[in-house]
Amino acid sequence: MKNSEPLENRDIERLELFVLLTPVVGFFPALWTLYRRKGRPEEQAASRLAVTLALTWVLGTILLQAGSNVEEIGRLPLLLTTSLFSTSYFIVSLALMVRIWKRQPLWLPGISQVAEKLLGKHLS
């Protein structure tokens, strides 16, 4: 019988990454992981990516909603864009979860580099 820590199980580590990438809700444990400055490198990278995606989604949604309230003529296209933006956020989060499930590295063109530059230097 192996004498190993129960929390060192690879399945539990993957489950932790799933939680971090859960849309909206995963933002809080990801932010906590970055704040503590502890965790595996994969966990830190997933946290940076989750926080960047969530903040981009919140900022984009706020700006699009504000724009739709300013002018009556362009209201419907901006509201449709807001819903498309939110749907994209959820689909990207789901795609990242699929990459974890397939044991592939987490990487998004552009977003990963921004996450590393913004959150990697300031919180490390």
Q: 42-54 pLDDT, tens per residue?
A: 888 889 899 999 9
Helix axis angle for 41-70 and 75-101, nearest 10°, is 170
Q: What is the pLDDT of residue 124?
A: 46
Average pLDDT of the chain to the nearest whole number: 84
Q: 60-83 pLDDT, tens per residue?
A: 999 998 888 887 787 888 889 999
**2: in domain:** no
Residue 32, pLDDT above cutoff 60: yes
What's the pTM? 0.79
Q: Based on the structure, what is the number of domains in the chain?
A: 1
Q: Which residue has the higher pLDDT, 6 or 45?
A: 45
Give the residue among 23, 24, 45, 13 at the shortest CA–CA distance from 92: 23
**3: in domain:** no
**113: in domain:** yes
How many C-beta atoms surround the C-beta of residue 114 within 10 A?
A: 15
